[in-house]
Structure 1
Amino acid sequence: MGAPASDLNLWVVFDQLMRTRQVSRAALALGLSQPAVSNALARLRRQLGDPLFVRTPTGMQPTPRAEAMAPAVREALARLQEAGQAQAAFEPTHSTREFRLGLSDIGEIYFLPPLMQHLAAQAPGIRVSTLRQPSAQMAEALAGGQLDLAIGLLPQLQRGFYKRQLFDQRYVCLMRSGHPLANAPLSAEAFEAAEHLRVLAEGTGHGQVDEALARHGLRRRVRLSVPHFVAVGHLLAGTDLLATVPERLAQALQGPFGLVQLPVPAPLPAAAISLYWHARQHQDPANRWLRATLAARFGAPAGPPA
């Protein structure tokens, strides 16, 4: 239509002047000042080499060129408005979108069963896949769109990403229900004398348990070290090992594996579990819906620390 694409706002002013035929009424409708509308019209006149509107006793009357352009301008603006409304609309009940989540094995155990139950009832066409990214590549995967969201204790994503905390969780000591230490408060001496299963959990903050224990003068006699949490239930159910794990993982494992949890005999700091997403996904309606769904299902109201 002659004007640069960056001057779309000029065509909005043009369309409003065609509707109102008055600078003051156009300014009021657009929430602009009268000088701003006049300046926009002046820019269009220079770009198109035509007066476009001529002041008369009955208002701003369009020139023949303005009259000829008006239908195309109105249609183009309507199409843009429709496109914006389509972007703003996300219907989970009819969507077949696949969401890609960055989750640790703890996240898969804790988040996925209730999330999939919710989706089955509320958004049956939506699919979910999880990707296990090395910590060094997590930021790149979110920025590049390979991941829609990441969930967990991810200190490497503190800068350059949006974050919404879901909950704080304590660490607890987990063991089989028939363990000799299962039926009494766990003392520091008994904790140090027992044999432990240690989960290193590279790329998350969960690997810092030994450092936190050491600050309170406690050491673990580590008999077995594994790089992930997925086998913890099986390993504890068949041994007399103890494991210091996040509380919500313990809750998920207790019933299926016949385990019990006891407080760790030291005030370990709580782990902040959060949602993380990149700026490119911040306004995406589907991503916003999933973030709100996860926050409603798993978020905890603010309260005193545990």
Structure 2
Amino acid sequence: MEINEIDLNLLVVFNQLLIERRVSAAAETLGLTQPAVSNALARLRRLLGDELFLRTPGGMAPTPRAEMLAQPVADALALIHGAMNQRISFDPATSQRSFNIGMSDIGEIYFLPTLMDALKAQAPQVRISTVRNTAVNLADAMGAGQVDLALGLLPQLKAGFLQRRLFPQGYVCVFRKGHALDSGGKRRLTLAEFSAADHVVVEAAGTGHGRVDEALQRRNIHRTVRLRVPHFVAVGHILSGTDMIATLPQRLAEKIVEPFGLTWSKHPAPLPDTAITMFWHARYHQDPANQWLRDFIYRMFAQKV
């Protein structure tokens, strides 16, 4: 097969289907109709003599041939994209660039108010969109240039990614003011008090915060879990109206205690700090816009030792 036999737009559709695993989602991201994506897939199937994707209850599953083509196609498209969009420099004062940043709801609460206020002064036309790492295949999306950076505790981003540590993250116990455990910050909770309390636990899929549960289990520290939720954004509301307590990252606790009438105590368990890190794909290490955003975020949020 010769290169002039291939419509490169078909490879763009192929790459997006690998990321989204659904025709409707791929069509929406690419700005196409679903029939257009289906027609492109049909053309690729005829061209390559393979089904490429099979419908399953969980979405479009790639065939072995599609999996074999996935990385070479992604590399080729990223190379073309980089060449076509190469810039000698990046001027934040005049740029209208839109950046996509992968982060959790904790990241949105902690980073975005400060980040957006600073951007208004230094890059007034730059726009930010956030992406949940559970909503897309974050590694694939970053490799394809659809997500510029990711912030947080993301142990799944390894081969092909560069990183820069921003700050260590400790954990504290959070509960409403006036709670039976509220001592006005004068003392640390005991393990007995911690275990006896009713807990709300956040199971944040795709992040490393599950390590807290693992650490407690290793130390045989038990707790009564009354509620489990999939994200952190509702925890402030829940704690303010109940007598439950929660183990939360300290920087999140510092942001929500005042708005929700909460307080926090040092954690009674010897939980290790975790590192909140900025990640980017190696393909975009030299991209001027990506470099500028990385440096901008690092200057604002990195904890200087």
TM-score normalised by L of structure 2: 0.69
What residue in structure 1 maps to residue 214 of structure 2? 211
Q: Counterpart of 1:140? A: 140
Match of 2:294 in 1: 291
Does 2:198 match 1:195? Answer: yes
Q: Distance in 2 between matches of 1:266 and 1:159?
A: 33
Amino acid of the residue matched to residue 278 of structure 2?
L
- Structure 1 position 159, deviation (Å): 2.2
Once the two structures are superposed, residues 204-233 of structure 1 have per-residue CA deviations (whole angstroms, 9 ceiling, x without a partner) of 110221211122231121000000001011
The answer to whether the Cα contact below 8 Å between 1:92 and 1:122 also exists between their aligned partners in 2 is yes
The Cα shift of 1:267 comes to: 1.3
Q: Superposition pairs for residues 106-255 of structure 1, below 5 Å?
A: 106-134=106-134, 137-183=137-183, 184-255=187-258
User: Residue type matched to 1:128 in 2?
Assistant: I
Distance in 2 (CA, whole Å) between partners of 1:301 and 1:217 is 35
Q: Secondary structure at the match of 2:87?
A: helix
Match of 1:44 in 2: none
CA distance 1:135–1:301, change in 2 (3 Å): farther
**8 Å contact from structure 2 (residues 93, 123) kept in 1:** yes
AA aligned to 1:212 is A
Give me the whole-angstrom Cα distance separating, in 2, the residues matched to 1:174 and 1:223: 15
TM-superposed CA distance for 1:240, in Å, is 0.7
* Structure 2 unaligned regions, length at least 5: 1-82
Rounded Cα–Cα distance in structure 2 between residues aligned with 1:284 and 1:160:
15
Q: CA deviation at 1:280?
A: 1.6
For 2:180 and 2:142, how far apart are their aligned partners in 1?
46
Offset of residue 133 of structure 1: 2.8
Shift of 1:301: 1.8
- Structure index of larger Rg: 1
Provide the C-alpha distance between the structure 2 equivalents of 1:133 and 1:169, rounded to a whole number of angstroms. Answer: 19
User: 1:297, CA displacement in angstroms?
Assistant: 0.6
Query: How much has 1:136 moved relative to structure 2?
Result: 7.5
Q: Percent identity?
A: 55
- The code of the aligned residue for 1:117 comes to D
Whether 1:92 aligns to 2:92 is yes
Given candidates 282, 286, 290, the residue that maps to 2:285 is 282
Query: Does the 8 A contact of 1:210 with 1:220 survive in 2?
Result: no
TM-score after normalising by structure 1:
0.69
Query: Gaps (5+ residues) in structure 1?
Result: 1-82
CA contact (8 A) 1:195 1:223 kept: yes
- The Cα of 1:135 is off from its aligned counterpart by 7.9
